[in-house]
Structure formats: structure tokens, C-alpha cells
């Protein structure tokens, strides 16, 4: 199991922090070659210092920009020669209701969380088909349950789940598997990046212990383990599924 991804080639977005970074670290530990991309070049360089260049390529990129999306795929092909696994872990969150979400905020949320994923999949697809690879989309509990005051985020993640299901059906005959995961609250920089203060974030994490039946929030490494399971041959008969990994949060009512 230690080198179960030997000679496998990953593209992982959002790799400069959180779930994307944890997945990058674990994939490399298990023998994978990884193209790690994100917007924080200094954080990506830390990965390079730690793991070296033999099985890691970093690309500072904005996945909302078409040229950057093409660059990500081009760099991966040039460095490693193909793509076996595409992990779409990049994403943002922001507050807003139907009454106060602006069209610009709506468009920006859906661009990063859904449109850019759709397009990156399209660009990567010829290489994934060639190697009968697979795709894992990092969605959210909000993709399957409604929550107030994060409207655009909820819709973007619900759309990502449906994108997963639709393309899994379309690509099954080509040997490409597609799945998504739906984490509950996980300790990452996601909420801080949305503008939440450290005090508010700590209070949010403390409250989240009461909203997750297992009594705690998640760790990025736990999410990475599920991603790599779905990417592995152990999951060879799994496609078109959205997996909850949320400490039981999706089983509860709003509180």
C-alpha cells in the first residue's frame, strides 16, 4: 500500500493549502507523480523543498483563467507524460443570501467552484481517457443539504455533484471513473480566506463540534485518505457517487 500509486500521475488543484495540500502530500508518499497547482506560489515551493522535483511539479495558476488551465495540463504532460487522476480540490466560500448576493458574487463563486472544474476536466479528458483514469471532485455537505446565508456556495457544490454524476455516466464506457466527496467542516484556510476573523473562526470550529454527531470537525488528512481510496484500484467498480465524509453532519437537522 505504501507505493500503491507508483507510476501514476496526478493533477491536484488547490494544492497550496488544506485538502489539496494534504492530498498532494499523501499521493507523493504513496509513489505518485503529482502536478500540484494553486495560487500561493510560496506554499507550493514549500512542497517542492520537502519532496524534490523527481515526482513533483508545481504550477502557480488561477483556474478561472483559460490560459492557466491549459498550462496546468501542458506542464503535467511535459513533465510526466500523461494523466491518471484529476483531483479538483480548489474552491472558495462566501456568505450571502438570495436578498443580498450580487450577480458579481454569484458569478465569481460559480466560476471557481463549478465552471473552472468543468473546463479543466474537458482539457484533461483526452489524457484521462487514454490511460483510463479517474476524476475526484471535492464538493461539500452543502451540495446535498441546504444551509442558509451561503447560497451561491451551496448551489455551486450541488452543481458540482450533478456534474460528477452526469459525466460519470457519459465516461463509463470509456473506462474513466468520476466521483465526488462531500466533507463537513474541516480545518483548512477556506473560511479564513473568505474574510472570517481568527476569533470568529475558532468560535465556528467550537460550535461545529455540536453540529457533527461524532463531536469534532475533520482533518484534511482524513479527506485525503478518501480521495486516494477513490483514486485507487480498490475503488475500480465505483463511479458516479458522492461520498459524505462529515462526522454524521448530513444526518442531522438544521441547528
- Distance from C-alpha of 173 to C-alpha of 169, rounded to nearest angstrom: 8
CB 25 within 8 A of CB 43: no
Phi, psi of 20 (to 5 degrees): -60, -40
Assess whether 201 carries a catalytic annotation. no
Sequence-ordered list of residues with C-beta below 8 angstroms from that of 73, at least 6 positions apart, any chain: 11, 83, 120, 123, 124, 127
**Sheet arrangement for strand 33-38:** 56-60, 33-38, 9-12, 85-88, 134-138, 177-183, 242-245
Cell output for 51:
519532496
- Distance from C-alpha of 129 to C-alpha of 236, rounded to nearest angstrom: 15
- 41-51 helix and 18-29 helix, angle to the nearest 10 degrees: 20
3-state secondary structure 153-187: HHHHHHHHHHHHHHHHHHHHHHCCEEEEEEECCEC
Q: DSSP secondary structure string, 6-56? A: TT-EEEESSTTSHHHHHHHHHHHHTT-EEEEEES-HHHHHHHHHHH-SSSE
Name the catalytic one among 108, 127, 153, 243. 153
CB 50 within 8 A of CB 24: no
Active-site residue list: 153
Amino acid at each position: 500500500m505504501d507505493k500503491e500509486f507508483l507510476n501514476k500521475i496526478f493533477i491536484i488543484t488547490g494544492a497550496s493549502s488544506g485538502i489539496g495540500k494534504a492530498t498532494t502530500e499523501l499521493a507523493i508518499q504513496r509513489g505518485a507523480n503529482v502536478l500540484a497547482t494553486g495560487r500561493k506560489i510560496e506554499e507550493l515551493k514549500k512542497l517542492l523543498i520537502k519532496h524534490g522535483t523527481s515526482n513533483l511539479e508545481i504550477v502557480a495558476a488561477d483556474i478561472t483563467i483559460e490560459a492557466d488551465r491549459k498550462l496546468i495540463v501542458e506542464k503535467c504532460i511535459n513533465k510526466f507524460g500523461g494523466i491518471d487522476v484529476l483531483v479538483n480540490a480548489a474552491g472558495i466560500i462566501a456568505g450571502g443570501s438570495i436578498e443580498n448576493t450580487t450577480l458579481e458574487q454569484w458569478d465569481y463563486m460559480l466560476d471557481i467552484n463549478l465552471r473552472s472544474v468543468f473546463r479543466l476536466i474537458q482539457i484533461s479528458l483526452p489524457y484521462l481517457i487514454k490511460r483510463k483514469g479517474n476524476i475526484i471532485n471535492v464538493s461539500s455537505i452543502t451540495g446535498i443539504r441546504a444551509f442558509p446565508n451561503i447560497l451561491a456556495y451551496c448551489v455551486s457544490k450541488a452543481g458540482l455533484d450533478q456534474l460528477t454524476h452526469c459525466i460519470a455516466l457519459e465516461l463509463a464506457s470509456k473506462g474513466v471513473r468520476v466521483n465526488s466527496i462531500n466533507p463537513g467542516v474541516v480545518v483548512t484556510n477556506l473560511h479564513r480566506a473568505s474574510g472570517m476573523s481568527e476569533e470568529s473562526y475558532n468560535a465556528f470550529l467550537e460550535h461545529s463540534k455540536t453540529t457533527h454527531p461524532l463531536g469534532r470537525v475533520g482533518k484534511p488528512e482524513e479527506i485525503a485518505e478518501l480521495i486516494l481510496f477513490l483514486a485507487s484500484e480498490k475503488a475500480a467498480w465505483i463511479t458516479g457517487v458522492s461520498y459524505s465524509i462529515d462526522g454524521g453532519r448530513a444526518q442531522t437537522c438544521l441547528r
